[in-house]
Amino acid sequence: MPFNFPLQPPRASSFADQHDALFYTLCILTLLFTTIVGFGVIFFTIKYRKGSPADRSRPIYEDLRLELSWTIIPLILGLFIFYWGASLFVTMRVPPKDAQEIYVIGKQWMWHVQHPNGVRENNTLHVPVGKPVKLIMISQDVIHAFYIPAFRVQMHVVPGRYTTLWFNATQPGKYHLFCSMYCGTQHSEMGGTVVAMPAKEYAEWIANGGQSTTPMTMEQSGQKLFTSLACNNCHGAKDTVKGPSLYSIYNTRRRMSNGELVLADDAYLRESILRPHNQLSAGYGQEMPEYQGQLTEEDVIKLVAYMKVLGLPTAAVPTSGTDRGSAVTTGARNSMTPLSSNAIQFQQQGENPTDATPTSRKGNLSVNAIAAQQEEAGQ
């Protein structure tokens, strides 16, 4: 349980300074008038409490000048705030002509982002620092809302029409992205991260097809390899006919097909990748291909590193050192309540989420949408 007391959100866009100036002015006005009224009430209540020896002769029941002054002064202050707020809003509404466009599609319950050169990402938005970015957004189902508190921008995402929002990120870092319009069961999980990167890094990232050149941890690299080599096709969360589960395998004792009990240490894992037929687990044949000659030792080290943490509670998953902002949670998980697969996926991603598509798409659709799908499928 973090006991920090943040009192303001990060200021990470060109709007933030202007917004906060207005916000704090309003805070001061609120404090001022609350104090005036509060002081008035308390002072009068004490001075004119029943039986107190204050002068009550010639009481006032109306006073036009007083009424007019406390009508006109708040009115002028109000109009001033209105004007300031409206101008800020107009600035926020009208994007510069050279703003880079990024497309956002909201649907129950995820954000799908498409960069102009085709790079796609889910629940994450990479943007360059110092350049205006315009999001063109639409919803596939219900009304959602795209909200980046650190940038002070928020806009509804509506089915049937495009809405836009623009910003100019000023600070590299990772910031919260929320859906802020109630949209169903997983409304509060439909969020992610906005990653603001220096323009050069962003350009590299885009050119790289959406891969960051900042170093990943061994475990993260191993995870990528695990997926790209399709190890997960046979090695899932549970034992199947295709292959045993590798969850929490490290340092456990495993039964081999010849009856022996063997410790699954680093050497064992390495051998199982390169020459699996030399040590078959009980109940399995020679279905697994051998990777000897196809993987470098570095690759093997990465895979072994990943297998050492695969299946463990996520607090054990380390993230890389360039962690700016606390956008990715690693430890706040209460094991009692089941999280959506979105949430589990989200937590396992660490620095560079590639595809946050839920593992069980069906489980994340509203019942209506599922029904529609089934109808289409002719059921």
Partner 1 sequence: MISQPAPAASETNYINEFGGLKSWLLTGDHKRIAILYLISVTFFFFLGSVAAAMIRWELTAPAGVVLESDTYNKVFSSHGVIMVFTFLVVAIPSVFGNFFLPIMIGARDMAFPRLNLLSWYLYMAGGILILAGMINGGVDGGWTFYTPYSSMYSNSNVTLVLTGVFIIGFSSITTGINFIVTTHKMRAPGMTWFRLPLFVWAHYATAVVIILGTPVVAITLLLVVFERAFKLPIFNPELGGDPVLFQHLFWFYSHPAVYIMILPAFGIISELIANFARKRVFGYHFIAFSTLAIAGLGFLVWGHHMFISSQSMYQGIVFSLISFLVAVPSAIKVFNWTATLYKANIRLQSPMLYALGFIGLFTVGGLTGLFLGSMGTDVHLTATYFVVAHFHYVMVGGTMTAFLGGLHYWWPKMTGRLYAEGLAKANAIIVFLGFNLTFFPQFIVGWLGMPRRYHYYYLAPEYQVYNIMSTLGSGFLGIGFLLPAFYLSKSLMNGRKASANPWGAHGLEWEIPSPPPSTNFLQIPIVLDEVYDFDPVTEYEQDRAQQAIEHAHEHPGMMDSHDETASKLEEGGH
CB of 37 to partner 1, least distance (A): 5
Considering the complex, state which of residue 101 and residue 141 has its C-beta at the smaller distance from partner 1.
141
234: its two tokens: 């046979």
**Interface with partner 1 includes 29 (CB under 8 A)?**
yes
Instruction: With residue 262 as reference, give the H or E element that holds it.
Output: strand 261-263
* Of 372, 237, 256, the residue nearest 311 (C-alpha): 237
- The residue count for binding partner 1 (CB under 8 A) is 106
Among 63, 98, 297, 376, binds partner 1 (CB under 8 A): 63
* Residues between 157 and 216 that touch partner 1 (CB under 8 A): 158-161, 163, 176, 178-189, 191-192
Q: Which stretch binds partner 1 (CB under 8 A): 91-99, 255-263, 289-297, 311-319?
A: 91-99
* Residues 6 or more apart in contact with residue 118 via CB below 8 angstroms: none
Instruction: Decide: is 316 part of the binding site for partner 1 (CB under 8 A).
Output: no
Interacting residue with partner 1 among 286, 337, 375, 379 (CB under 8 A):
337
Tokens representing 221 are 């690299």
Place of tokens 């059921």: 379
**Tell me, what amino acid is at 78?**
G
Judged by CB under 8 A, the residue of 116, 120, 332, 363 near partner 1 is 332
**DSSP state letter for 286:** S
Residues shown for the chain: 379
Q: How far is the CB of 300 from partner 1 (least distance, A)?
A: 34
Q: How far is the CB of 18 from partner 1 (least distance, A)?
A: 7
99 binds partner 1 (CB under 8 A): no
Q: What is the DSSP letter of 50?
A: T
Shortest distance (Å) from residue 330 CB to partner 1: 10
Beta strands per DSSP E along 86-240: 100-107, 110-114, 120-122, 124-128, 132-139, 144-148, 153-157, 163-168, 173-179, 192-197
Taking contact as CB under 8 A, which single stretch among the options 81-89, 240-248, 261-269, 304-312 is the one that binds partner 1?
81-89
Examine residue 339 and tell whether it contacts partner 1 (CB under 8 A). Answer: yes
Q: How far is the CB of 21 from partner 1 (least distance, A)?
A: 10
Residue 42, H or E segment:
helix 14-47
The correct pick among 17, 34, 282, 287 for binding partner 1 (CB under 8 A) is 34
Instruction: Output the smallest distance, CB 121 to partner 1, in A.
Output: 16
- For partner 1, give the closer residue by CB, 23 or 277: 23
Q: What is the closest distance, in whole angstroms, from the C-beta atom of residue 16 to partner 1 in the complex?
A: 9
Asked whether position 313 contacts partner 1 by CB under 8 A, the answer is no
Q: Is 61 in the site for partner 1 (CB under 8 A)?
A: yes
Structure tokens at 236: 């899932």
Distances (CA, A) of 187 to 48, 111, 184, 356: 53, 11, 5, 16
Site for partner 1 in 117-136 (CB under 8 A): none
User: Computed over its alpha carbons, how large is the radius of gyration of the chain?
Assistant: 29
Sequence-distant (≥ 6) Cβ neighbours of residue 50 within 8 angstroms:
none
CB of 234 to partner 1, least distance (A): 32
Q: Min. distance of Cβ 41 from partner 1 in angstroms?
A: 6
Report 348-377 residues binding partner 1 (CB under 8 A): 366-369
| Angle, CA of 338, 339 and 345, to the nearest 5° | 135
State yes or no: cis peptide before 84, omega within 30 of 0.
no
